[in-house]
Amino acid sequence: MWERAAADGRAIEPGHPLALYIHWPFCVSKCPYCDFNSHVRQSVDQAAWRDALLIDLAHEAAVGPERALGSIFFGGGTPSLMPPETVAALIAAAERHWGFLRDIEITLEANPSSVEAARFADLAAAGVNRVSLGLQALDDATLRFLGRAHDVAEGLAALETAQRTFERVNFDLIYARPGQSEADWQAEMTRALGFGTSHLSLYQLTIEPGTRFATMAARGELPPVDPDHGARLFELTRAMTAAAGLPAYEISNHARPGEESRHNLAYWRYADYLGVGPGAHGRRNSAFTVRAKKPENWLARIERDGHGIEQEDGLDLATRRTEALLMGLRLEEGVPITRIDGAVNMGAVDRLAKHGLIERTTERLRVLPAGMLLLDAILAEIAA
């Protein structure tokens, strides 16, 4: 179905399902590595936030494409801090506005604390059928270093509850941490793969500007990761997940065949998606939307304008093709040639192909496993 995308660079074929992203911006605390739009507040007016999100949702329904939803993703922040009745109200409103595919995927990100795990049954009853747990590590000292509020025992108890409660489960781990050896990561991965989870998101630790880790790195308090060591850990990760039947389908995501995140695939395959809530991005009707980032500013826009949009810009054909290239090459499947006509320096592609880094057929362009380590450099070289 994806290969039938229009040759003129339109985002996706007219009948393709939409994806909906809903952002909940609040967290109990701010992790030192996190550069997401997350905020700590002493109190949250839950009723006001539910009503504001419903208003933002209704605006997208009024102006966006009229197609059924194939996925909903509650991200954050920590959306497992939302009252289950708010989640239920948003899911019900989305179904009224757009309608659902019969097998819609509805994902909610959750911290693996016992308090939030106690809500899993209610969240499942609200309609959530996939949960993504931020385990991040299977070592208590590392969890403290990462600023996480849970310990390993609490995290694994939450994982067990999640696997009993939801149809599908993902959990995140961070690797290439200071002092982590290949043997350390191999042992942690062996343990992680033993839980039988169908999807894993495995990320190298990166120092993002504006985070507490960035401040520590600037002071010399946090040693940088050796690139060669990071590369060895990356290759070890892909080898171990493939051997366990969860091959990489995207640079940092691994799943059993058929268990890939449909919502994230919509981003990477450059489909239309709607974004509501503070700081949420969207792409629909050949336009890019950005909501106000600070929670209080977003609420003020909802009250004043009836939506939280701060910026809405049209995307010309050249931009859409370039973005389809940048997103699509993150995937093992690559991107259809028809989506990126004019956005690629084919001379550079041919040079890289001779080194076994990229592959071009008459139908698709894809980065080969040896090239995934160099993806940023490859994209910079081949983007016309």
d(CA 83, CA 137): 27
pLDDT truncated to tens, each residue of the chain (384 aa)? 333 233 333 333 445 789 999 999 998 888 888 878 888 888 899 999 999 999 999 999 999 888 999 999 999 989 999 999 999 999 999 999 999 999 999 999 999 987 788 999 999 999 999 999 999 999 999 999 999 989 999 999 999 999 999 999 999 999 999 999 999 999 999 999 999 999 999 999 988 899 998 899 899 999 888 899 999 999 999 999 999 999 999 999 999 999 999 999 999 999 999 999 999 999 998 999 999 999 999 999 999 999 999 999 999 999 999 999 999 999 999 999 999 999 999 999 999 999 999 999 999 999 999 999 999 999 999 997
Tell me the CA distances in angstroms from 84 to 46, 90, 161, one per residue in order.
11, 10, 16
**pTM for the model:** 0.93
Res 1: pLDDT: 32
Tell me the CA distances in angstroms from 204 to 207, 229, 232, one per residue in order.
10, 11, 11
Res 224: pLDDT: 83
Res 15: pLDDT: 52
Res 14: pLDDT: 45
**Residue 227 Rama label (left phi>0; alpha psi -120 to 50; beta):** alpha
Res 6: pLDDT: 30
101 exposure class (CB count in 10 Å sphere: 0-12, 13-18, 19+):
middle
Q: Which two tokens stand for residue 5?
A: 């995308």
Angle between helices 317-328 and 375-382 (to 10 degrees): 150
Q: Which residues pair with 331 in a beta bridge?
A: 250
What value, to the nearest 5°, has the Cα angle with vertex 259 and ends 252 and 357?
40
Full set of structural domains in the chain with CATH: 2-268 (3.20.20.70)
